[in-house]
Chains A and B, each alone.
Chain A
Amino acid sequence: MRISRSRVAKTIAATLAVGVIVTACGSERGQEDDGGGKPFVFGAAGDPRSLDPSLASDGETFRVTRQAFEALIEHEPGGSEMAPGLAEKWSSNDGGTEWTFNLRKGVKFHDGEDFNAAAVCANYDRWYNWKGVYQFDAISYYWQKVFDGFAENENKDLPESNYAGCEAKDDHTAVIKVNKATANLPGGFSLQAFAIHSPKAIAAYEKDKPSGAADSINYPKYTQEAGTVAGTGPFRIVKWNKGNKEISLEKFDDYWGDKAKVDKLVFRTIDTEDGRRQALQAGNIQGYDLVAPGDVKKLADQGFQVPVRDVFNIFYLAFTEEQNKAFADKKVRMAIAHAIDKENIVNTQLPDGGKVATQFMPDTIEGYSDKIQPIKHDPEQSKKLLDEAGVKNLKVDFCYPTEVTRPYMPAPADIFQIMKSDLEGVGIKVTPKPMKWNPDYIETTRDGKCGLYLLGWTGDFNDGYNFIGTWFGGYQKEWGFRDNTVFKAVKAAGAEPDVTKRVELYKKANEVIMDYLPGIPISSSPPSIAFGKDVNPPKVSPLTQENFAEASFK
C-alpha cells in the first residue's frame, strides 16, 4: 500500500505496452504452419442450416455438404454438363419413365459401409416415405420440386408423387421409375439434395426425427453435429463448432477418385462482405465467394486470384399484373422495358463478364434463342407508348430486397435506385418498398403483392425447364397473368422426352414468352469468387459447385 501511486501507474502503462507488443508478435506466430497439414479455410457468407443436404435448399449448406456427399450424377469440373458421379452411366427408356444407373464399384461411405444399389434405393425410398414435418416445403423443397409428392401426402394441397419406386437390379444396377416423363430428369438426379447417404447413417437418422410441433421446424440433432452423417465424398465432416462459426472437414483416405490435395478443409462464416474481403487480405482465409464486383479489380491488382465463372443465371424485373392493372396492357409493359437502361446497370453494377439479357435464360443454356432482339433503352419511345396506352401519372409499387447479395444481383438497392430514376424519367411515379430478403421479400413477391420487383435464378442443372418451367408453366401468383399461349408453349417443351426436340421447343417458348413480355430480363452475370495468393484454387463452376478436393497450397 505504501508504493507510490505514480509508480503503479507507470507499471500498468508498461505492462499494457508490453502486452500490445507481445500480442503483435503472437499473431504472427499463430499463422505458422504447425507441422500437420495446413487447413484450407474458405470464408462463407452464412452458417449452413444442416449437415444433411436432403433437408436443404440453400447454397451455404450445399457448399459444405457437396464436399462430403455425392449424387448419382455430377457435373464436369468447371462446367454445366452432366458427368458421371456415383453412377458411371445412366439411361432411360423411350418414354423417359425408367432410369437405369450403372453404379461405380469399390466406393465406400465415410462410416465404412459399401456403396451399392441397395444404398441408392434406401435413400430414394427414405425421401419418398417422408412424413410429418419432413413434408414441409421448407425441408423437402427439392424433392417436391422434382418428384412432386410423397408416398402418403399429409397435406391435400400436395400433388400426387411422380416417383414410382426404386429397384436394385443387381448390386451395381439401380432402376428409378417415375409415372410420367419430366424435363426435371435426369438433371434432378444431379442435385446435391439427392446425394447418397450411407444406409447405416439413414437408419440412425430414423431414430432422430425433427421434433416438429406444428409451430416450427426443429431440425433433428444429427444434422447439427458431425458424427452421424456419412456420404462418399472426398472429405468427411469432422466437427461443427457453432460458437466459432466453423465447420471442419478432413480428407477421406478411402475416397474412390482423386483424393483431396489438402488434409483439412474449413468453412468459416464471416457475416459481412467487407469482413470477408479484409479476412482474405489479412491472410486469415484462403478464399470467399460473392466478391463485390467493385473489389474484383482491386483484389486482382493486389495479387489475389479472382477466376471468372461461366454465366449461368438470369436477373429480371418482374411485373405482377394482378397487383397493378395498368400492366395488363402490353404497351405499358413495353414502355417500362424501353425506360430501363439495362446497359448502364450491366456496365456499372455487375461484375465483368455480365451481359444484357434478351430472354429468361442465359445464353449458356441449350434452348436459348438467338432470334430474340434486345429491347433498346429509349425513353422517348417509352413515353410515346405510355401516351398510346392512355396511361397518365402511372404509379407503381416497386419492391426490392435489402441487406442481400445474390449471385445474379450484387447490389439490389443500388440497382433499384437506377431503375427508379429511369422510370421517373419517363413520368412514372415509383413507391419504394424495401424489405428484408427472407422471409419478407420472398413471401411478398410470391404472394403477388408487388407491382414491380427484382429477382433472379441460378440454374441447378443444364435444362431450360429449370428456368422458364417454374415461372411460366402455368398460372403463378408472382406473375399474376393468364396466357394460354405462353403456358402451352412452356408445358409442351417440358413434357418432351427427346432432348433435341425439347431444345427446339424451348427456343420457341422463349420467343413466345418475350412476345408476351411478362417481365423484363435484365442481365446474366458471373458471380465472382476470390482466392489467396498462396493456393491453387479449384476449378470454378458456373453452378457455383466448386469441388475443394482440387484445391491445394502452392
Chain B
Amino acid sequence: MLRLVIRRLLQLIPTLFGLSVLLFLWLNKLPGGPAAAMLGERATPEAKARVEAALGLDQPLWVQYGRFLGRLVKGDLGTSSQTGQPVLDELVLRFPATVELGLSAILIAIVVGIPLGYFAARRRGSWLDVTAVSGSLLGICIPVFFLAFLLRMVFSVHLGWFPAFGRQSTGINATEVTGFFVLDGILTGEFDAAWDAINHLVLPALALSSIPLAIIVRMTRASVLEVLGEDYVRTAESKGLSNSVVRVRHVLRNALLPVVTAIGLLTGGLLSGAVLTESVFSFGGIGSFLKTAIDARDYPVLVGFIMFIAMTYVVINLIVDLAYSVIDPRVRVH
C-alpha cells in the first residue's frame, strides 16, 4: 500500500513538470505576451519594455522558465488581474463552495442513480427501465446551461420554492468556520443557516448532477445486468440463498466496482459543468470565478487554476485507486 502511494506520488512529478512547461509556453504564446496581458488597457511600447525588463522577459526562455517554476514550487501562482489578490488565496476562498456543490451533485447522482440503475436492470424492459434509460440519455443530451436556466425559471421564478441565485440568503447572519456553509451551520448550531445553504444548493446541484446521474444510472444498470449473468450469482440463486442476500452480497457489491471508478473519473467533467452551473446561479465558487476570469482574460487565474486542478485530480484518482484496491483486493494496480 505504502509503496503504491509513494510510486503514485513520484509519478505526479513528471506530470506536473510537463504541465508547467506547457503552461509556460502557452503564456508566452498568448497574443501580446505576458507583458500585454498584465499591463492591460494602455500598454505603451515604453511601458511594455519596462515591464518586460522587470519581468526578465528579455532573458533567455529557459531562465524565464526557471523563475516561473521557482514561483510555482513556492505556491506562488501570481496575482489575479481582476481582483488584484493572490491567485492561490482567491482559489482557496472559493474552493469550499465548489466542493460543496460538486459533492451535492455526486450525492444526488449516487442516491438516485444507483437504486434507479439497479431496479432498471432487475426489471429489464419494464417501464421503469425505459424511463431510466431514456431519462439518462436526455440528461446527457441537454446542455447544462440551458437545463440550469429552465430549473431556475420553473422552481424559483414561477413556483418560488428555491432561491434564484447565490449560496446564502441575505438576512442570514451565519458564522463562517470552514467555508462550507452547510457544515458551518451544523457545527455552530445555526441550523437556520445550514438549512438556508441547503436550499441554495438544490437547484444548482440538480443541474450539475444531470450528467453524472445519467452516467451512474447507465453504469449501474449495465454492470448489474452483467453480474446477473455471472455464474456465481446463478450458483448462489440455485443454492437457494435468499433473494436479498444474493442481491446485496453478490450482485450489488460486484456491480458497484466499476461505478466507484466512474465516480472518481467524473470529477473532471464536474468542473466543466460547474463553470456553467455556477455562473447561471451566481454561485460564489471556483466555477463562476473562472467564468469571469475567462471573460476578463485573467491569465494568472487560468494558469493557477489548471495547476491546482491537475493536482486535485491526481490526488482524487489516487484515492479512488486506493479505495478500489481496498474494496477488491484482487485488483492489482498497474
Contacts and interface: CB of A to CB of B under 8 A. Distances in A.
| Contact present between A and B (CB < 8 A) | yes
A268 B163 CA distance: 13
B interface SS class: helix
Contact of B282 (A49, A224, A266, A269): A269
A215 B55 contact: yes
A439 B30 CA distance: 13
Contact of B50 (A16, A23, A214, A442): A214
Contacts of A390: none
A5 B247 contact: yes
A477 to B, nearest CB: 10
A120 B61 CA distance: 50
Interface residues of A, number: 66
Interface in B30-45: 34, 36-38, 40-44
A26 B152 contact: no
How many B residues touch the partner, as a band? Answer: 35 or more
Nearest to A36: B171
Nearest to B111: A12
B280 to A, nearest CB: 6
Given A23-B162, A218-B84, A272 B297 contact: no
Contact of B166 (A2, A268, A436): A268
A268 B164 CA distance: 12
B115 A12 contact: yes
Nearest to B202: A23
A157 B50 CA distance: 12
Nearest to B242: A2
A439 B179 contact: no
Nearest to A217: B84
Interface stretch (B4-12, B18-26, B90-98, B223-231): B90-98
A372 B282 CA distance: 46
B88 to A, nearest CB: 12
A210 interface: yes
Contacts of A31: 169
A180 to B, nearest CB: 24
A29 to B, nearest CB: 9
Nearest to A239: B173
Given A27-B162, A157-B44, A272 B54 contact: no
Interface stretch (A107-115, A184-192, A279-287): A279-287
A interface SS class: loop
A278 B83 CA distance: 27
A246 interface: yes
A145 interface: no
B142 interface: no
A30 interface: yes
Contact of A217 (B79, B164, B279): B79
A515 B179 CA distance: 60
Contacts of A443: 36, 40-43
Contacts of A282: 156-157, 160, 163-164
B248 interface: yes
A528 to B, nearest CB: 19
Interface string B149-191: 1001100110111111111111110001001000000000000
Contact of B292 (A46, A216, A217, A266): A46
Given A49-B83, A271-B292, A439-B40, A245 B164 contact: no
Contacts of A213: 54
Contact of A436 (B157, B247, B295): B295
A269 B36 CA distance: 28
B136 interface: no
Nearest to A2: B244
A215 B81 CA distance: 10
Contacts of B96: 243
B84 A244 contact: no
A295 B314 CA distance: 46
B70 to A, nearest CB: 14
A403 B112 CA distance: 37
B284 to A, nearest CB: 5
Interface string B203-221: 0000000000000000000
Contact of A216 (B50, B81, B93, B156): B81
Contact of B41 (A16, A241, A283, A446): A446
Nearest to B284: A245
B146 to A, nearest CB: 12
A446 B44 CA distance: 10
Interface in B215-261: 244, 247-248
Contacts of B51: 214-215
Interface string B265-291: 000000000000001111010001001
Given A271-B279, A275-B282, A41 B170 contact: yes
B48 to A, nearest CB: 11
A186 B112 CA distance: 66
Contacts of A266: 170
15 contacts: A2-B244, A24-B161, A26-B199, A30-B169, A30-B195, A157-B44, A216-B38, A268-B166, A275-B280, A278-B165, A279-B165, A284-B156, A439-B296, A443-B41, A447-B43
Given A23-B162, A269-B282, A278-B165, 7 more contacts: A28-B160, A242-B284, A270-B165, A275-B164, A436-B297, A438-B41, A443-B40
